[in-house]
Amino acid sequence: MTAFRYKALNPEGKLVKGVLEGDSDRQVRGTLRQRHLRPVEVAEAAESLRTSESGRFRLFSKRLGAGDLALVTRQLATLIASALPLDECLQAVADQSRKSSIKSMMLQVRSKVAEGHTLAHALNQFPQAFGEMYRAMVNAGEEAGQLAPVLEQLAHYTETRQHTAQKLQMALIYPFVLIAVAVAVVAALMIFVVPELVGIFVHTKKALPPLTVGLIWVSDFMRDYALISLLALVGIMWASGRALQHPGRKKRWHQFLLRIPGLRGVLIALDSARFASTLSILMASGVPLIHALRIAGSVMTNLVLREASNTVSVAVQEGSSLSRAMSQEAFFPPMMVHMVASGETSGDLENMLQRSATNQERELEMTLGTIMGLFEPAMVVFMGGMVLTIVLAILLPIFDLNTMVR
């Protein structure tokens, strides 16, 4: 059976949408009429998704958010562990989903499985929703007959990744709000308050202090060109994003980021933790080391670090040990290399990689906590300095007038 998306009119004349399974669109239309719905449009879910992707705006691409992926994986792992047939598990996951896009996706996966394909093959229809690591682990679990435990590991992994991403986002919300408020306050002072206060000094014949002259110039510029400057800033950001889509420029940009002392450690810790965690879960699922190294390298966001991981993969394929290959690259933390060497010696490489990833994530959280702790007083000092500069620029001409009066 195939999943069909439909639009129909209910007895009150309102347009309703949904997803139904059927052998043909004619059967789906008959089912809708039995439910007292008048069909308006019926099309295969896969075809409608392809149409939306090939359209002008790709707002409805076949993607799954981190939370949706974690929920679907956890539900599927729980149902499979209860010894239900796979197609029934996929049907139950589709029925429980409140989003039509996820429901149609799971129904299409179920259709492939019902036709006799493996789950990994069915998931290959949606590479953007289920990444290469996800599909490789499912394939390894099916071949080993351990699909339920592998899905449990995947569920834990996706939930952990989601939790880590949420913590990073929550840690960055306050600084961005603080910066936005600081910029808004300074802009309001310069555009609305300062011109009224310093306007009385503009028409005097006495020379104004350099600080006051500079403040007046900045105030006039912001008042006359604020909108143009904002549009120019947005344009520069858009052009930069377009330029960074070129692999060569993006790699040079990533090389530049790795040269910044404070940022270098954060980027390396973030990507190395992702690399170690992915490699650990792939190896624990039975994926061969060479294939696991290639997939783990692809999850790294920095192109320079990804290239280093590819070099490690080539060295391991040529016969080198993993720890020795990683030690030849300058980007992998020494502690991670030592833990990998210990894991290879003891035969417990998967657990040592997971411990290394946990250590990297803990160090990253501590580093971000320290940065955030220093950022807050730094912003307070910056704001105080800006206000002090504005006040001095206003008061200096007043002090000069008092001296002249005396």
- Please provide the DSSP assignment of 125-172 as one string: T-TTTS-HHHHHHHHHHHHHT-HHHHHHHHHHHHHHHHHHHHHHHHHH
Q: Domain 244-406's class?
A: mainly alpha
The residue among 277, 251, 254 whose CA lies nearest residue 364 is 277
Round to whole Å and give the CA distance between 134 and 303.
Answer: 21
How confident is residue 204, by pLDDT bands cut at 50, 70 and 90? low
What's the CA gap between 32 and 26, in Å, rounded?
10
Give the CA diameter of the chain: 99
User: What pLDDT digit, counting tens, does each position of 281-314 carry?
Assistant: 888 777 788 888 888 888 788 889 889 988 999 9
Instruction: Delimit the domains of the chain by residue range.
Output: 2-54, 66-159, 244-406
Interhelix angle 147-188/132-144, rounded to 10 degrees, is 160
For residue range 109-148, list pLDDT tens digits in order.
Answer: 888 888 788 888 888 888 888 887 788 878 877 877 778 8
d(CA 344, CA 293): 15
The whole-number pLDDT of residue 212 equals 80
Q: Which CATH superfamily is domain 66-159 in?
A: Type II secretion system (T2SS), domain F (1.20.81.30)
Dihedral sign (CA 216, 222, 225, 229): positive
- Predicted confidence at residue 45, as pLDDT, reads 62
Question: Fold match between 66-159 and 244-406?
Answer: yes
Structural tokens at position 66? 């981190």
Residue 201 confidence (pLDDT): 67
